[in-house]
Amino acid sequence: MSSRVWIVTQLRDGELHPASREAIVAGRALAEALGTTADAVVMGSAVNEVAAGVASLGVSAVRVADRAELGDYVPGPYTETLLAGVADGGPEFLVFPHTYQSVDYMARVAHGWGAAVLSEVVSFAPDDEGLAWVRPILEGKLQARVRLRGEGPVVVSVQSGAFTPAEAAAETATIESQSGPAELVAERELLGIEDAGGDTVDLSAANMIVSVGRGIGGPDRMSLIEDLAAALGAEIGASRPVIDNGWLPRDRQIGSSGQTVAPKLYLAVGISGAIQHLVGMKGSGCTVAINKDPGAPIFNVSDYGIVGDLFEVVPAVTKALQESA
């Protein structure tokens, strides 16, 4: 019996990307809900070892496309390989990790396959009428329950952190080689990799971080944050919009496209708490949020929260620290 769910894993630096382990768990759960099994797809060059590792992660088969053209990621060859695979193997669902690489090409796979797209899923559960899927909307301020209608294939991506990563089990799945198109043409000519920020500040070792978000409104009031950081002896970090607007340099950015930090104390000021920010700071010891919106998602992941205007609260905290020093 062939599996109706295929999990399309992703590699990074020749190894399984951690988000792939989460996608595998999501794909297995989906297969169970649908009464089928889940296969994993591994694409790359010289990936025998990775494929063997994936075979122990609770899937029923591993489909391996191992060829030189898949060594460096380029969307065209990855898309064409998968399209050849699904035409041959007939799954209904492709499950991807919601990563910078996988999202880059999964829509091309969906287009070629004629599939519906359901991106950034955080959970799904059966109800009276089938499966209801949950995904964030409005930058994580709300979430939507959505349903798939009609017949036909579906491409799903699962958000990082939403599913517990798969652990190796005793049983191992069969490994099959996946034939692809005879010729794969890379439409991108890769030139290199660069540091986005000029790695001058390493926040990963910081003990305390005062992190500032769009709520600061502009660069002119940044001294409030500097004073608080000085009173604590903390480093300054920021959410992405602060960087994008040029209010602080890029090497201060925390989150999925910035640095990952784990300080003892993380003070989030005027930051709403979007998932791309949270993945960069969720390892923090104690998190404090200062935000004027009591519904801001950042409060859900914080230890202490103050609802208020940062322009009043931050100077007050600085003063309280100075007075109690």
Partner 1 sequence: MKIAVCLKQVPDTEARLRISRDGTWIEEEDLSFVINESDECALEEALQIREAEGGEVVVFSLGPQRVQESLRKALALGADRAVHLNDAAFVGGDPVATARALGAAIAGEECDLVLTGSQSDDLGWGVTASLVAGHLGMAHAWLVMGVALDIQSRQVRVVREMEAGKNEIFRLAIPAVLEVQAGINHPRYATLKGIMQAKRKEIKAVAAADLDLDESVVGAAGSRVEILSVSFPDTGAGATMIEGDPAAAAAALVGKLRTEARVL
Ligand X SMILES: Cc1cc2nc3c(=O)[nH]c(=O)nc-3n(C[C@H](O)[C@H](O)[C@H](O)COP(=O)(O)OP(=O)(O)OC[C@H]3O[C@@H](n4cnc5c(N)ncnc54)[C@H](O)[C@@H]3O)c2cc1C
Rule CB under 6 A: which residues touch ligand X? Answer: 139, 213-215, 239-241, 253-258, 270-272, 274, 276-277, 280, 291-293, 296, 309-311
> Interface with partner 1 includes 148 (CB under 8 A)?
yes
CB of 28 to ligand X, least distance (A): 26
With CB under 5 to 8 Å by kind, the binding choice for 227 among partner 1, ligand X, none is none
138-150 burial code (b ≥16 CB/10 A, e <16):
eebeeeeeeebee
| Binds 270: which of ligand X, partner 1, none (CB < 5-8 Å by kind) | ligand X
Phi, psi of 175 (to 5 degrees): -115, 125
Contact status, residue 210 vs residue 234, Cβ threshold 8 Å: yes
Q: Is 202 in the site for partner 1 (CB under 8 A)?
A: no
Cα 69 from Cα 67, distance rounded (Å)? 6
Least CB distance to partner 1 at residue 182 (A):
21
Stretch that binds partner 1, among 34-42, 84-92, 167-175, 192-200 (CB under 8 A): 192-200
CB of 317 vs partner 1, minimal distance in Å: 4
28-36, 63-71, 163-171, 182-190 -> range binding partner 1 (CB under 8 A): 182-190
Q: Which residue has the tokens 């230890």?
A: 303
- Out of partner 1, ligand X, none, what residue 95 binds, judged by CB under 5 to 8 A for its kind, is none
Q: What is the DSSP letter of 254?
A: B
For residue 95 the two structure tokens come to 């499950």
Hey, which residues between 247 and 266 contact partner 1 (CB under 8 A)? 250-251, 253, 256-260, 264-265
Rule CB under 8 A: is residue 286 a binding residue for partner 1? Answer: yes
> What DSSP element (H or E) covers 324?
helix 310-324
Q: Which of 200, 218, 244, 249 binds partner 1 (CB under 8 A)?
A: 244
Size of the chain in residues:
325
Map tokens 């201060």 to a residue. Answer: 252
Point out the residue whose Cβ comes nearest to ligand X.
255
| Consecutive H or E run containing 24 | helix 18-34
- Among ligand X, partner 1, none, residue 123 binds (CB under 5-8 Å by kind): none
Residue 239 contact partner, candidates ligand X, partner 1, none, CB within 5 to 8 A by sort of partner: ligand X
Rg of the chain over Cα atoms, rounded to whole angstroms, equals 22
User: Does 119 participate in binding partner 1 (rule CB under 8 A)?
Assistant: yes
DSSP element (H, E) containing 137? strand 130-137
For residue 296, the partner it binds in partner 1, ligand X, none, with Cβ less than 5 to 8 A by kind, is ligand X
313 makes contact with partner 1 (CB under 8 A): yes
Kindly state the tokens that stand for 63: 């489909």
Beta bridge partners of 11: 16
**Shortest CA distance to 236 belongs to which of 246, 222, 221, 215?**
222
Tell which one of 94, 106, 248, 271 touches partner 1 (CB under 8 A): 106
The sign of the torsion formed by the CA atoms of 158, 74, 259, 308 equals negative
Kindly state the smallest distance separating residue 272's Cβ from ligand X, in Å. Answer: 3
Please name the residue ranges forming H helices in 90-128: 100-113
What does the angle CA 236 – CA 241 – CA 243 come to, to the nearest 5 degrees? Answer: 50
Rounded to whole angstroms, the maximal C-alpha distance in the chain is: 73
For partner 1, the closer CB: 139 or 167: 139
**Least distance to partner 1, CB of residue 52, Å:** 25
Residue 87 contacts partner 1 per CB under 8 A = no
